[in-house]
Structure formats: structure tokens, C-alpha cells
Amino acid sequence: MTKRDFSRVETWVFDLDNTLYPHHVLWQRIDDRIRAYVAEFLRITADEAFRIQKDYYKRYGTTMRGLMTEHGVNPDEYLDYVHQIDHSPLEPNPALGDALEKLPGRKLILTNGTVAHAAAVLKRLEIDKHFEDVFDIVAADLEPKPKAITYDRFLKRHGVDPTKAAMFEDLSRNLEVPHTLGMTTVLVVPSGQREVFREDWELEGRGDPHVDHVTDDLTGFLGQVRG
């Protein structure tokens, strides 16, 4: 099967966590707060909260969606709690900023997180000026990737032609719908994958037919695309 290239790309769409920076830098903090919230909300042990957290994440796209569906959790309270973390471990990435600046066209963020979290991440990386907007879980009406309706809402809100767009993601399953819509897809697999707990399914998919390209070096890859 012929892999799509970037010759027609006018819009560059990026996931946030573990795509623009490696998971292990911040994610353990968020992961811990999610688990603590689940344990407190359901009044269960940390071990049981861990099991439910990962089960809902796999089945619903986010732990929050699972808690909403099965337990009626308040999404605003959940989002406020889990994203109250220290973003200072993130350091500026001028090389990534240079690579983004040289890409022709629009750059957008599509994340299952919040605008506030994305803004903090982009500011710490010093790449915020390169992005036109952030489409977050609230803009998606709390429907997370990989649901098709989330991508439809994103494309409609920003007037994106998917056949002239590229999507960068760290989860293969989140690239299936974009590829079906006509987007060029890139699976980003940065270092530090095993420094936080990730289930096997999260690390799979490099050879899936809906993945056009795979890279463990986003900055270098964007430089090659530009070239």
C-alpha cells in the first residue's frame, strides 16, 4: 500500500501529550491524580482504582468518559483536579519551535486534555506562538478521540480539508479515523515509553495500514518533511 506524503498538506494537526513532548516528563503526575480521583470518587483502593482507570481509558478513550458513563462524574470537577500539576519539568524546545515555524500552513492542537493544560505545555516548550488554536475535550463536547464525531467537530470548527492535512499522534488507534478521512498520518513514539506505565495496546500499531509514517524524533522528522 502506498503511503501518503506531505505534498498536499496545508494544515498540520498535533496531539499534545507524548507527541510534542515525551510522556515521562509530565504524565506520571497526571496519571497519579487520575488514580487518586478515581479512588476517592468511588471509595476504593488504589489498586482497584488503577485497574478501573486503565480499563475505562481503553474502552472509552479517556478515564473521564468512563466515569461519566458509568458513574455520572462531574467532568468539570474531574478536569480541574487531574490537571492541577507542576508543568515546570518541561523545558523550552527551540529546535522543535524552529521546525514548526518552517512548516508551510496552519498548525493546530487536537487533544483529549484541556485548553489550560495545553496552554501551559506550549508555553513551557516556548512553541505556543506557532499554533493557531487548541481543540480540547471541552470543544469536543467531552467526546474523546478516537471517536469519529470528535474529528468531525474539529474539522468543521476549523474549516480543515482532511485530504490536505496531516495528523501526528502517539496512539495508533487515534489515527484510524483521520486516515479514513484522507489525512496523512504520523505515529510518534518518543523515548521514555516505559518510564511510566503504559499497557501493551498503547505501544502497538506501528505497522497498521492506517499509519503512513512512524518516528521517534518529531523535530528531526519535521525537518525532513520540510526538506
| Residues of the domain holding 188 | 11-22+90-226
221 and 156 in a common domain: yes
Query: Mapping DSSP to helix (H, G, I), strand (E, B) and coil, where does residue 169 land?
Result: strand
Per-residue pLDDT of the chain (227 residues; tens, 9 = 90+): 689 999 999 999 999 998 999 877 787 888 899 999 999 999 999 999 999 999 998 899 899 999 999 999 999 999 999 999 999 999 999 999 999 999 999 999 999 999 999 999 999 999 999 999 999 999 999 999 999 999 999 999 999 999 999 999 999 999 999 999 999 999 998 765 554 555 565 667 778 899 999 999 999 999 998 75
**Neighbour count for residue 226 (Cβ, 10 Å):** 14
150 and 62 in a common domain: no
Could you tell me which of 89, 109, 84, 88 has the C-alpha nearest to residue 14? 109
Number of domains in the chain: 2
In a domain, 4, yes or no: no
43 and 73 in a common domain: yes
CA dist 205 → 131, 167, 172, 174 (Å): 27, 15, 5, 10
37 and 146 in a common domain: no
158 and 222 in a common domain: yes
